[in-house]
Structure 1
Amino acid sequence: MDYSHDDAGLARQPIGYWAWAAHKAAVTHIRAALAEHGLTQPRWWVLNQLGDADGEGRVREELVTMLKGYLDVGDSMEPEVDALIGQGLVTQAPDTRLRLTAEGHALRERALGGVTRASADIHDGIPPEEFVAALKVLQRMIHNVGGQAWHH
């Protein structure tokens, strides 16, 4: 792949296009890896957050509120949680705490392998310091135009 003709030419490229193209390619690749396990990206987010909760689970409302900010899913996280409960992958206690079932843990572990592989594909040939520099540039651009972004 020819990444550029010259740096001056690259400096004039539209960031909106390249940010969109990178987003589309990366998200499509990750979603394909998740689809191999019958998961959508929003359902993966729920499983992954619950898997990181050390068995304590998470209060449904807090989890849904936190995940609303991921890639503009809006209020559509409630049906995703309900679908995972319906599949027997998540349980909800009377105190509204959500927890993974044994099947949910197993699926999360299998899917994690695919997500890890997809992430490695995306990062292939990019030294960590270049990745960090790219993120800092994007963060600064977001700040410059008064945008908001968050991810941990």
Structure 2
Amino acid sequence: MKPIGYWLNRADQALTRHMNGMLAEFGLTRLAWQVLNVVHDGSRATGVVGNGSPAAGDVHDAPGVTDDEVLSVLAANGDAPALAAAIDAVLAGGWAARPAPGRLALTPDGAARLARVAERVGAFRELSMTGISPGEYRTAVSVLERMTANLEPARDPHVATP
């Protein structure tokens, strides 16, 4: 039996390869799609989707999410340059706009297109889960969460923490 790290890498590579292939028709990559989901979820939390004007006050009152929030949420998915490139790609593609400096919000067109992409991603998830029960999936995720918690830098006496 091959170790779990081998299968984690293979699964991530397969997911990325298939997602990138499926998303190419929309002009997206897996990482750009993940950026859009963070922006979408942040826009839902603030109740704003689109190019709304910033509310009175500082940039934190503006709609959407900050670049730093995107980088923080997706830190495990890519390094800062790759995430910055994905942010640039969704801006260039008209998926998102900057309602204020350093903030991202979906454009109305981007929100509509993202809904269409979500349908395709749902079908892809079904394909990737073929033969895997919901219980097996929950167990796999739970085990990986515990392994990650066991290995986070704060728990490793050999890794300096700030």
Decide: shared fold, TM above 0.5: yes
**Paired position in structure 2 for 1:28:** 17
Aligned mate of 2:37, from 43, 48, 56: 48
**Paired position in structure 2 for 1:104:** 110
Taking structure 1 as reference, are residues 60 and 139 closer, same or farther at Cα in structure 2, changes over 3 Å only?
closer
Root-mean-square deviation (Å):
2.2
Provide the TM-score with structure 1 as the length reference.
0.74
Give the Cα separation in 2 of the matches to 1:83 and 1:26: 20
Deviation at 1:37, TM superposition (A): 1.6
Aligned mate of 2:70, from 60, 63, 66: 63
Provide the TM-score with structure 2 as the length reference.
0.70
Deviation at 1:132, TM superposition (A): 1.3
Give the Cα separation in 2 of the matches to 1:104 and 1:94: 17
Taking structure 1 as reference, are residues 124 and 86 closer, same or farther at Cα in structure 2, changes over 3 Å only?
same
Contact 2:71–2:80 under 8 Å retained in 1: no
**Paired position in structure 2 for 1:7:** none
Contact 2:96–2:106 under 8 Å retained in 1: yes
Deviation at 1:104, TM superposition (A): 0.9
Taking structure 1 as reference, are residues 18 and 68 closer, same or farther at Cα in structure 2, changes over 3 Å only?
closer
For each residue in 1:58-99, what CA deviation from the matched residue of structure 2 results, as whole angstroms up to 9, or x when unmatched?
Answer: 1223223332332x3333222322232223221112353311
Aligned mate of 2:85, from 71, 79, 89: 79
Aligned mate of 1:140, from 141, 146, 151: 146
Q: Which runs of 5+ in 2 are unaligned?
A: 49-62, 154-162
Which 4+ stretches in 1 moved above 4 angstroms?
none
Give the Cα separation in 1 of the matches to 2:144 and 2:70: 27
Q: Which runs of 5+ in 1 are unaligned?
A: 1-11
Contact 1:57–1:98 under 8 Å retained in 2: yes
